Structure 1
Amino acid sequence: MCFTGIISKVLYKTIISAGAIVDNKLERDTKHALNVNEKVLKNILKRNEESEIGKKYDFKNIKTIDDYKNKVPITKYDYYEEYIKRMAKGEKKVLMCDEVEYFGHTSGTTGKQKLIPSTKKARMIASKYMAFLLNRYAYDNLKYEWKYGRGLLIADIVMTSYTEGNIPVCSATSGGMKAMGKMIKYLYTSPYEVMTIKDKESSLYLHILFALKERGLTFISGVFISSVLDMFRIMEENHLDLVKDIRTGKVNRNLVIDDDVREKLNSYLEPDAMRADELEKIFKDGFRACARKIWPSLVYIGTVTGANFSIYDDKVNYYTNYLPIYSPCYAATEATIGMNKNVGIIKYIVIPDTVFYEFLPVDMENKQGGKIITKNIDELEIGEKYEVLVTNYSGLYRYRLGDVVRVVGYYNNSPEIVFEYRKNQVLNMASEKTNEMQLVAALRNTVKIFELEIIDYITEPDNNVSPGRYIIYVEFKDPLDAFTLKRVEKQLEIELKRTNIAYDRARYNFKLSPLKLVQLKKGTFNKVKESMYHKGVSKNQIKVPRVINKENIRQIIKEGRM
């Protein structure tokens, strides 16, 4: 075993051992979930009582959860915009007393992108779960197949920009990755320089190139399963060039990278004809189930999936032959909320000690005297859906995430939840409230019937006809003729009626017209992703919005119609 391999094994064994300590703490915390969560609230208020907002709401004299709910209003991002602008200019002690380490840039799937302040305290709280428990739970589930080798991590450490006050603006994962520094090369196959490349296609190509060189690759990890699928698609489309690069030990000249970065990356490579011949043979046999042939030691895929992401699962399974997929956590730029102990099952234990939680019943009818009443961590009912509110260490108080979750059980005394949908990613023209999960289920059922492959989809309500209707824009891997497209459209209508009874009722009562399916040109969603990236979204955290919410995306979709 080479020196790097020895260090990698030692590091992973250390991380997994540390994960057991963190897991034991989570076990204790979940037994006393409300008490732990209340302590988090009190700690946040104590730390920030001298901030501007702490003085405004008299944090110093808040003694109980009820006091807090009575004194501090429920908020959305708009409430914080002016405060955050001042903080971005360098003003101190505005929303919290701690220094802003960086501003996290959200994906903007539900509208405008947001700048979310993050502190060292918040990052450290999240990192102990993300770094240690992720690996621990994967090991616990797969210990009989486990290999202590490096993995492919599809991530970046690109700082999007800096504020007027010289504070970095980046994705939350970029901030976390940068803090790992020199450990990266011992944990992952991609050199540090690859993670600094801004061009999405070039970055993915290089992630794959260095992973292909590592025959003993243990896992593949990406923030979202869509980025893992993008990686496999880039591999399939560029396999000839990738084999050539491995054979010659030189990075492809067509990649959009700086000369000094190219020179550094070339220094990590050397000609490897044997590996090139091996890969060439595998690729000639086709790409179905290719992952296990390329990397015989591959144990699992670690990435967030389920709910709105499940539309990508089938195609990833095509490449991996149903390699176990581990969806490790439920997190947002604003908070790390839940951890999943199970490979192959998607449900998250709410972590009591990261932020203070409130849960708002989705019907919004639970009011007393016109005041919205939220539930605490121990008051949730199994089977019910709630919007998540968080109070965090980075200056957000009673903040509505816009995420709707469903409670599926309890782990000790902390809820187990599944993500359902984003509140603003809902089509609602006649009180039918069609959400992402219902759309995805209808699309998956439809494409299975016709044995089609879709690249991605997006929707919009159309009131240019009466009654209104949904327009579903889909990019298919292979274009459909007009006759087949019409058949698919009719089946999609049937499937959507099945997945959303309220939609079926609206159609039956002539409150909605039949949906319209519009085919998009090849590459349309690549343009959408590029547009989002140029607007500041991390290239590995891009989530295609399910409802058109920006004019630039509307224009791309309009130009992409066939």
Structure 2
Amino acid sequence: MDLEELTSKAKQIQEEMLEEILRVNANTEYLRRFLHGSTDKELFKKNVPVITYEDVKPYIERVANGEPSNRTFRHFKGVEDGKVLAFLNTRPLYKILSGIPVAPVITSFIMTDYFKNWSSKCYASPDQVILCTDNNQSIYCHLLCALVQREEIVSIFAPFASTVIQAIKFLENIRSGDLSEWITDRGCRDSVSVILRGPNLELADVIEHECSQKSWEGMITRLWPNIKFVQSIITGQISQYIPILEYYSNKLPLISVGYSSSETLLGVNVNPLCKPQDISYTFSPNMSYLEFQEEGNNDEIVDLVNVKIGCSYEVLVTNHFGIYRYRLGDILQVTGFYNTPPQFRFVRRKNMVISVFMEVTTEDDIMKALNRARVVLESSGLMLMGFTCYSDISTIPGHYDFYWELKAKNFEGIVKLGNKVMVKCCCVMEESFNALYRGFRNKNDSIGALEIRVVQEGTFDYLMEHFISEGGASASQYKTPICTNSPEVLAILEDRVVARFFSDKTPPL
């Protein structure tokens, strides 16, 4: 561009320059105070103050002093100096017929030199605990190491939020501040014994005092007073654990940093402190080739930058390792753009639906209905600890069955299943479903009354342990199916049903 053209388009060039600056920097710590992530130019002129060097001096000094710009940790003071309670463990390697060793993706990462070189610097547990292949022994030892170093723990990490909930249950078994006799893994015993340095009566008294309280609300912050956040996957079907985590953690920030699969890393959360329900992931264009097929339109496939805001897509992955245009099975909705890459929120797994007639109830529909039912449960001092559901067509008409595991908020409280409360939960869920369901439900010969079957406490832990032992899956990657038609799963659940409830009225149209 020559001088004449440059000077004749000064206004346009200046406007485009501001647009580019805001696209790149709207989510920086400084501008977010005024723009809250917006790139609107008029909002910039209205809200961002005119400043001098003294106003930005603290930020410049932070850069000069070498402060890292990590998008998560920069929000919390002292995180770099503390330790992480990380619930990680491995599964045994096994070989397929060709002789190639196979392991879950987390196990493969943990076995790398890259992981081993820095894990001991930030994690409360020694590598021997992380390398333990027994899930129960590993969790117990993770907790014990973190309790001994309770003042140093600044965060909790687990691949899925369900693992944190499972770990809290293990606190019931830690009383003496010493290794229990059932910890037989030699690596765990030797490495943890070094940290414990014998029985710790002071620690035992602290644990005993906290765990003997009637309520376990805020237990995480009570045991680890300097903890600042919990980092885990909390989207999709895992979002069912958010209320339980908030209860135990005294509503600490729940952070979901990235969105990934076994096939590839897909994106990162550039606003890690957002509310769980507002999480969107910015797709990384440099990890794999990504294409998107719009839901309900099998004829058109678009590239990463050509998706449309508000539309839902299934992801197709082509990576460096021999996967080409692979259907990931996740349905995502475009929420915006960060520069040119799109931002998505996770909606549901494809085909993760239940139906008994002509209606379709999706994972998203189910989670919304459960969130409304939780409000009813909490008013009665109960928490939903786990669930799954299936389409029961053994009856005429067919109906939805939900298996619920409940727990009293008070630690030693008894789960009292009031008929009025449980029937209301059934009705509230039906009212939350879509118009097609409600319409067919009002026709008595189409869909029958929704049923909740309450199972014994520990049922979903047993289900997890069953499939880990049968299939060799990793506990840190296990997810209870949100809906199922597996005869094996249903048989396990049915054997533990303690009460049944039905909605007593049809939902409004």
TM-score of the aligned structures, taking structure 2 as reference length: 0.76
Does the 8 Å contact 1:446/1:488 carry over to 2? no
Contact 2:128 2:187 (8 Å CA) reproduced: no
**Conservation of the 8 A alpha-carbon contact between 2:144 and 2:174:** no
SS of corresponding position for 1:221? strand
1:159 is matched with: 92
- For 1:448, the aligned partner's letter is V
Equivalences for residues 5-24 of structure 1 within 5 A: none
Secondary structure at the aligned position of 2:304 is classed as: coil
Does residue 277 of structure 1 match 2:205?
A: yes
Q: Quick one: which of 425, 431, 439 aligns to 1:491? A: 425
Give 1:426 shift: 1.0
Which residue does the alignment assign to 2:181?
253
Spell out, residue by residue over 1:166-220, the C-alpha distance to the aligned partner (whole angstroms, 9 max, x if none). Answer: 3232221111122112422212011112123233222211111111111211110
1:389, distance to aligned residue in structure 2 (A) = 1.0
Q: Would the alpha carbon gap of residues 265 and 543 (structure 1) be closer, same or farther in structure 2, given more than 3 Å must change?
A: same
- Give the match for residue 353 of structure 1: 286
Among candidates 404, 412, 421, match of residue 474 of structure 1:
404
* Aligned match of 1:423: 350
Q: Which residue of 1 aligns with 2:101?
A: 168
1:547 maps to which residue? 483
The residue number in structure 2 matching 1:382 is 309
Q: Residues 421 and 436 of structure 1 are in contact (CA less than 8 Å); yes or no, is this contact kept in structure 2?
A: yes
SS of 2:306's equivalent? coil
For 2:340 and 2:117, the matched residues in 1 are separated by 39
The answer (yes or no) to whether the contact 2:361–2:433 under 8 Å persists in 1 is: no
Q: 1:272-316 CA distances to partner (integer Å, 9 max, x unpaired)?
A: 334333443333445321322322221111101033212111111
Cα distance in 2 for residues equivalent to 1:188 and 1:439: 36
Deviation of 1:260 (Å): 5.6
Against the structure 1 CA distance between its residues 263 and 145, is the aligned structure 2 distance closer, same or farther, given a 3 Å change threshold? closer
Which residue is 1:402 aligned to? 329
How do residues 153-552 of structure 1 correspond to structure 2 at under 5 angstroms? 153-179=86-112, 180-214=115-149, 215-235=151-171, 237-240=172-175, 244-245=176-177, 250-255=178-183, 257-259=184-186, 261-271=188-198, 272-285=200-213, 286-345=215-274, 346-363=279-296, 366-367=297-298, 372-451=299-378, 452-478=382-408, 484-485=418-419, 487-510=421-444, 511-534=446-469, 535-552=471-488
Secondary structure in 2 matching 1:210: helix
Instruction: Measure the CA separation in 1 of the matches of 2:124 and 2:366.
Output: 36
In the superposition, relative to structure 1, how do residues 516 and 152 fare at CA in structure 2: closer, same or farther (>3 Å)?
A: same
- CA shift in 2, pair 1:135/1:174, >3 Å: farther
Counterpart residue type for residue 303 of structure 2: N
Q: What value does the CA root-mean-square deviation take over the aligned residues? A: 2.4
2 CA distance for matches of 1:318 and 1:139?
23
Gapped runs of 5+ residues in structure 1?
Answer: 1-25, 29-133
- Are the equivalent residues in 2 in contact too, given 1:425–1:545 (CA < 8 A)? no
SS at match of 2:314: strand
Q: Which deviations, in whole Å up to 9, do the C-alpha atoms of 1:359-411 show, x marking residues without a partner?
A: 11111xx35xxxx3212112212111111111111211111111111111111
Asked if the contact 2:86/2:123 (under 8 Å) is kept, the reply is yes
Which protein has greater RCO, CA pairs closer than 8 Å, 6+ apart?
1
Q: Answer with 420-429 or 536-545: which moved more.
A: 420-429
Distance 1:553 1:401 in 2: 24
Compared CA separation, residues 270 and 481, structure 1 to 2 (3 A) = closer
Partner of 1:60: none
Return the alpha-carbon distance in structure 2 between the equivalents of residues 305 and 324 of structure 1.
12
Matched residue, 1:102: none
Over 3 Å counting, the alpha-carbon distance change for 1:135 and 1:559 in structure 2 is farther
Q: Aligned in 2, Cα 1:508/1:224: closer, same or farther, shift over 3 Å?
A: same
Q: Percent identity?
A: 26
Q: Identify which range, 352-361 or 265-274, moves more after superposition.
A: 265-274
Following superposition, the deviation at residue 464 of structure 1 comes to 1.4
Distance 1:411 1:431, change over 3 A: farther
Check the 8 A contact 1:443/1:492 in 2, yes or no. no
Q: For 1:435 and 1:550, how far apart are their aligned partners in 2? A: 18
Aligned residues between the structures: 415
- Superposed, 1:87-106 pairs within 5 Å as none
Matches within 5 A, 1:38-77: none
User: What SS class does the counterpart of residue 456 from structure 1 fall into?
Assistant: strand
The aligned residue for residue 94 of structure 1 is: none
Give the SS at the match of 1:529.
Answer: helix
What's the CA shift for 1:27? 6.8
Using the alignment, how far apart are the partners of 1:218 and 1:143 within structure 2?
A: 9
Please tell me whether the aligned partners of residues 145 and 299 of structure 1 are also in contact (alpha carbons under 8 angstroms).
no
Gaps of 5+ in 2: 1-22, 26-67, 409-413, 499-509
The normalised TM-score by structure 1 is 0.69
Task: Report the counterpart of residue 29 of structure 2 in structure 1.
Answer: none
SS in 2 for 1:472: strand
Q: What is the CA-CA distance between 1:266 and the residue it aligns to?
A: 2.0
Deviations 1:243-266 (A, max 9, x none): x13xxxx411023x3346423432
Compared CA separation, residues 546 and 295, structure 1 to 2 (3 A)? same
User: Contact 2:337 / 2:343 at 8 angstroms: preserved in 1?
Assistant: yes
Runs of 4+, deviation exceeding 6 Å: none
1:230 maps to a residue whose letter is Q
Asked if structure 2 preserves the Cα contact closer than 8 Å seen for 1:378 and 1:415, the reply is yes
Check whether the contact 2:124–2:145 (CA below 8 A) recurs between aligned residues: yes
Secondary structure, counterpart of 2:394 in structure 1: coil
Q: Distance in 2 between matches of 1:537 and 1:321?
A: 32
Larger Rg: 2
Inter-partner Cα distance in structure 2 for 1:340 and 1:277: 40
Q: CA offset at residue 525 of structure 1?
A: 0.8
TM superposition shift of 1:319: 1.5
Structure having the larger proportion of residues in helix: 1
Cα deviation 1:483-527 (Å, max 9, x = unaligned): x24642443333333243332233134431111111112221111
**Which residue type is aligned with residue 459 of structure 1?**
C
